[in-house]
Structure 1
């Protein structure tokens, strides 16, 4: 029997999944932050904890794992890999691969080892792999370095749109009443003064107000969501052109809460337009499987295994992935 381990290390949580070569789930693990850019020592401990739990649940030893694949937030540049490679070796793995978490999201959303992934959750990121195995990442470094959006930025767009509407620089918007209710203020002037005087931060959850207002045809919200889609579409097109995928048939996988929950095409529409202009044979798909599954499939492929249709179906129909996401001990 051959065993494979997938790790999804994010900025707040790390998930581990261990299977055999047929995709039968044998062990699961969970822990906290797996992004070394936030805290390298904590990330190392959390990655090791999640992996150890999955291996122990399967009744195996670490050396029984044929290949481990680590999809890690923050695995963006060579400077990151100079930290991550010894980190993983110190945990005790010898047969392993490391890639950014964008790529395991891509792998989880398609039956191919190539394609393009767009993430729009708290932040945004995009990456792809072509038929020749060449990889390219576009963005993921914040607004100063070219990015736009994600919940961690769109919440600010909500707040500033309300301010601009109040002071006359923007048209009236339904966001005003909904944001005041969320923050517990009677009027915009009080909210403005409170935030200015006390240095408050806009909660990330404020981004969801855009979807509620857009559903009621709020022009300001629709414009922000459309702009988010246009920016993601530019990122997808950039990846496609960099990798020479214009004439290929592949999937563009949409992942992250801003794309998989609440959007009624306001973001997706501009993405589709940009993708189909750049690569007419590409298909847009929404990720419905946990990214950690993509890490397992990547581990299998790194070991030279061809994944069968039965394995894809078995792992996609597995109903206990949500157990991984229970409150961390």
Structure 2
């Protein structure tokens, strides 16, 4: 979407926030006015591959910047967790017309963190397709995680909940596991003839395991209905979110500080009271001064603020940009944001 109000020749900064399911890009003038917004498919290099991710990002950056001079580009993408991954991405975009030595490339958690708070000491945990976190401290120290799946100790998000829901359903069907309403709910949600047919289709590649991420709402609904298996999965997800937050606070020696802990991502945005209540109670027990903040808006807001800051924009521009990006992308701005 393009917006009126700025000269077609005015220079812009471009911000990109890319996850496993979608990618947002916005172009803004240095006074914080949005001139274009586009949304494309997922651009996580871990999920899509490096070349496919670069292709999605290039198309979106080119579309929103059009023929305007580009002052600065900030890219915040899921799947950029290791320094070598960031360097490979930089090499892959180096030949593109809009790329420059000042181009910022980093994990999408930075966009979530900036969207939720500008505090110098802060934590962000994202629970969407997967789970990851980042912590920053005023002196420049940070806490990060490899986020490479089970091999780096990760579990949860839509993919983890879906895989475990199917695991329990399969065991109920063959008699190894406990009774659970998840079995029938999974079959209905994914439109399968039976659970056995679904498992066979997944095994032979006739269906993608990515579909299992769609099962998170089924798990939450079953838990609210009193299903013990689903309830245990919801509790496990809450404990994983809390574990990330605790690890960040501990590694940065912030357990006794009044630190904002920003939660975001699709699973968090579901607003499940059991999961979020368990996270809140656990955080209060380990870090009484920490302030839990649920960020329901699009992280592209944070990416835009970071890009403007990289480009040298002033405070008034940041205030305007927060409202304009929210309006352009259909995201709400939290009260006080």
Give the shorter-chain TM-score range: 0.7 to 0.9
Cα pair 2:109 2:134 within 8 Å, conserved: yes
- Greater alpha carbon shift after TM alignment, 27-36 vs 80-89: 27-36
Cα pair 2:34 2:324 within 8 Å, conserved: no
Partner of residue 103, structure 1: 110
Residue deviations 1:64-113 (CA, integer Å, cap 9, x gap): x2x32110122111211221222343223322212101111121122435
Cα pair 1:138 1:238 within 8 Å, conserved: no
Distance, in Å, in 2 between the alignment partners of 1:93 and 1:187 is: 50
Q: 1:165 aligns with which of 155, 163, 172?
A: 172
Q: How does 1:75-154 map to 2 (within 5 A)?
A: 75-91=80-96, 92-94=98-100, 95-112=102-119, 114-154=121-161
Residue deviations 1:18-76 (CA, integer Å, cap 9, x gap): 223442211223334433343222222221211111112xx6222xx2x3211012211
Partner of residue 260, structure 2: 251
Q: 1:74 aligns with which of 73, 76, 79?
A: 79
Q: 1:43 aligns with which of 47, 53, 65?
A: 53
List structure 1 runs of 4+ shifted beyond 6 angstroms: none
Residue 305 (structure 2) pairs with residue 300 (structure 1): no
* Secondary structure class of the residue paired with 2:14: strand
Distance, in Å, in 2 between the alignment partners of 1:235 and 1:193 is: 32
* Cα distance, 1:192 vs structure 2: 7.9
* CA distance 1:242–1:305, change in 2 (3 Å): farther
- Greater alpha carbon shift after TM alignment, 152-161 vs 241-250: 241-250
* Cα distance, 1:277 vs structure 2: 3.3
Distance, in Å, in 1 between the alignment partners of 2:154 and 2:242 is: 12
Residue deviations 1:287-324 (CA, integer Å, cap 9, x gap): 2221111111112333455535971685278423049x
* CA distance 1:148–1:318, change in 2 (3 Å): closer
| TM superposition score normalised by structure 1 | 0.84
Distance, in Å, in 1 between the alignment partners of 2:239 and 2:109 is: 19
Cα pair 2:263 2:294 within 8 Å, conserved: yes
Partner of residue 23, structure 2: 14
Residue deviations 1:195-250 (CA, integer Å, cap 9, x gap): 69856665321232111111212111111100111011111110111122223323
Partner of residue 31, structure 1: 40
Cα pair 1:180 1:191 within 8 Å, conserved: no
Distance, in Å, in 1 between the alignment partners of 2:259 and 2:123 is: 8
* Cα distance, 1:5 vs structure 2: 1.9
* Cα distance, 1:259 vs structure 2: 1.0
* CA distance 1:80–1:225, change in 2 (3 Å): same
Cα pair 1:118 1:236 within 8 Å, conserved: yes
Partner of residue 297, structure 2: 289
* Equivalent pairs, count: 316
Cα pair 2:11 2:69 within 8 Å, conserved: no
